[in-house]
Structure 1
Amino acid sequence: VHLPREYSELELEVKKMLARYFHRGTVDVYVNRWLKDSTDQFEIHLRPEIAKKWMQTYKKLAKELKISESLDLKSIGSLPEVIRIRENNEMGIGEKKSLLQAVEKAALQCDQQRDREGKGLKKEFERLLLALQKMLSKMETQVGDQGERLRERVQKRFVQAGMEESLDPQRVTQEIALLVDKADVAEEIARLKEHLGHFQDLVKSGKTQGKSLDFYTQELLREVNTIGSKSQSSDLTHSVVAAKTLIEKLREQVQNIE
């Protein structure tokens, strides 16, 4: 909050008012003060005793230098401390009320603008979430036959290396099962669905849940990255990249929410 010095006592009150409208992020508020063109806003103090001392000093100096005096009224008035002008900066009750009303009006207008933008954001969230759901369904299909593809690939490599007959079939089966287990992403898919459901619920609630939404975008991204690291097919890898792009777009939009 940036207030003129005369309004500094109202800083805490202004901050409390703004806290009712803004709950996350940073808000800068600038308040300027213009005085009316009125003589009531200024007080002019004449100090003849100071002027007399200046005159005495000049006379003494002129005598010492043996020169004639030449000090007119304008020159005397411009001497330091002869004339003091004090601005009347005291804030009245009416001015305080006007200031607080102006700040609240600005905060309310900002809040209304955010509400309009929020409706647009909600539509964008719904679009991105629908696209992410479709991508998740596609990934589930691609993951479904990943185990069988891995078995076929390993067995084919054994055949190409001429090692099929020399290896223990049971040991080969165990090794393949171990590789398939490492490539299994069923848990990641389940968590993705869960996080996506929570995200959708928050969006539908219409509440300002920026921190929670940001948390779920991070979790979504983490699960998708894990699936990508376990991917055994180019199709699944492409889907992971597409899903990450959608989640990043979600995260960008979340930054606009409190």
Structure 2
Amino acid sequence: MLQSMTGYGIARRETDHYAATVEVKSLNSKTLDLSLRLPRFLQDRELEIRNLVTKTLVRGKVNLTFDFTRPRSAARLGVVLNQETLLAAYAELEKAAELVGAPKDQLFALALNLPGVLQAPTAEAVEEEEEVSWDELLPLVHEALERVNQFRRDEGQTLTAEILGYVERIRAQLTEVERYDPMRIEQVRLRLQMHLAEISANEHFNPIRFEQEILYYIEKLDIAEEKVRLGSHLQYFNETVGLPEYSGKKLAFISQEIGREINTIGSKANDSTVQHLVVGMKEELEKIKEQINNIL
């Protein structure tokens, strides 16, 4: 079954000490184009994460974001009093109060609320104090990637139904070409008979050369081989869709071969009815190619 390259997956974990979220987005791309955003303390795990994403998602334009936060409440973290800053601030406020004759009973509260007097520990310090095991966080990456793959499989089922529908419409139009082809050949035969009657009266008529040219002309108009090859390519396409391995690139190649046979039928048939059917087949083939661009 086909898989789409479009996918989305997210995994979260919250504890009393941290909240972690891994979010993965995937779009179509010819190769794996991976962009990572990791917290500082996981930078040394980048290569391991890249290898895991490459093995799991194979191809696509992938963005992986790993968010890691801790509670920032003062009750949990506590605060640090900068005594030097407090003393300096209080002294300056006391001088200012004496200068203007203001009361000094609120100076301590004012000094305590000035910037730099009370300080919370930095996030980096907290992370160093309460280190989180990579073995505890790694399952989040696996979970997010598996959800991306499940999204891809679900999307692939929809794409499979659409693409096989386009293939069946091409097959139906090929059946119409096969049904109409005997009438096209009969029209060609009647035109040749008419022209033969006209040119055989010419005194310079060379029957041997004329026969050779007729055989060449008939061969150029014959589309029997192209019809067989086109039917074979359509069958091979359907078989490839059902393969368990990733088949997007193979389907793209088969689509090129299908297009080649359709074009040859159109150029050799030299018939307006067949040309109309060929245009319809080309239209369905373009829909197939557009969808294959998003197939893994």
Provide the residue aligned with 2:56 in structure 1: 21
Quote the Cα distance in structure 1 between the aligned partners of 2:218 and 2:76.
85
Separation (CA, whole Å) in 1 of partners of 2:283 and 2:214: 32
Partner of 2:201: 165
AA in 2 matched with 1:30? T
Extract unaligned runs of 5+ from structure 2: 1-35, 87-106
Give, in angstroms, the shift of residue 224 of structure 1. Answer: 0.7
Amino acid in the other structure paired with 1:16: N
Question: Is 1:99 equivalent to 2:137 in the alignment?
Answer: yes
List 4+ stretches of structure 1 deviating above 6 A. Answer: 40-51, 81-85
In structure 2, distance between residues paired with 1:9 and 1:40: 32
| In 2: Cα distance, 1:47 partner to 1:100 partner | 39
* Amino acid across the alignment from 2:179: T
CA distance in 2, matches of 1:157, 1:98: 86
Residue 70 of structure 2 corresponds to 35
Q: CA deviation at 1:73?
A: 10
Where 2:71 maps in the other structure, the secondary structure is coil
CA contact (8 A) 1:44 1:83 kept: yes
Structure 2 CA distance for aligned equivalents of residues 43 and 130 of structure 1? 69
The structure in which a higher percent of residues are helix is 1
What is the one-letter code of the residue matched to 2:280? Answer: A
Alignment map for 1:132-171 (pairs within 5 Å): 132-156=170-194, 163-166=199-202, 167-168=204-205, 170=207, 171=209
* Counterpart secondary structure, 1:205: coil
TM-score of the two chains, using structure 1 as the length reference:
0.74
| Secondary structure of 1:33 counterpart | strand
Contact 2:199 2:205 in 1 (8 A): no
Count matched residues: 253
Alpha-carbon separation, structure 2, partners of 1:176 and 1:82: 103
Q: Deviations over 1:118-159 (max 9, x none)?
A: 222222233222222222222223334544433433454566
Q: Is the 8 A contact 1:45 1:84 kept in 2?
A: yes
Structure-2 separation of matches of 1:12 and 1:37: 30
Matches within 5 A, 1:237-248: 237-248=275-286
The alpha-carbon distance between structure 1 residues 40 and 17, as it changes in their structure 2 partners (threshold 3 A), is farther
Indicate the residue corresponding to 2:274 in structure 1.
236
Counterpart selection for 2:217 from 179, 192, 211: 179
Q: Is 1:253 aligned to 2:288, yes or no?
A: no
Q: Is the 8 A contact 1:202 1:209 kept in 2?
A: yes
Instruction: State the distance in 1 between where 2:289 and 2:68 align.
Output: 40
Query: Which residue matches 1:65?
Result: none
Distance across 1 between alignment mates of 2:78 and 2:267:
77
Give CA deviations for 1:181-240 in whole Å, capped at 9, x if unaligned.
122223322221222121111122344211111111111112111221222110110111
Distance (Å, rounded) in 1 between the aligned partners of 2:295 and 2:200: 59
Larger RCO of the pair (alpha carbons < 8 Å, separation 6+): 2
Deviation of 1:98 (Å) = 4.3
Partner letter of residue 205 of structure 2? D
Q: How big is the shift at 1:83?
A: 9.9
Whether the 8 Å CA contact 1:151–1:176 is kept in 2: the answer is no
Tell whether 2:254 aligns with 1:216: yes
Rounded to whole Å, the distance in 2 between the matches of 1:111 and 1:149 is 55
> Do the aligned partners of 1:35 and 1:41 also contact (CA within 8 Å) in 2?
no
What secondary structure is seen at the aligned counterpart in 1 of 2:201?
coil
More strand by share: 2
Please state whether the residue corresponding to 2:60 is helix, strand or coil.
coil
2:272 partner letter: S
Aligned-residue CA RMSD in angstroms?
3.8
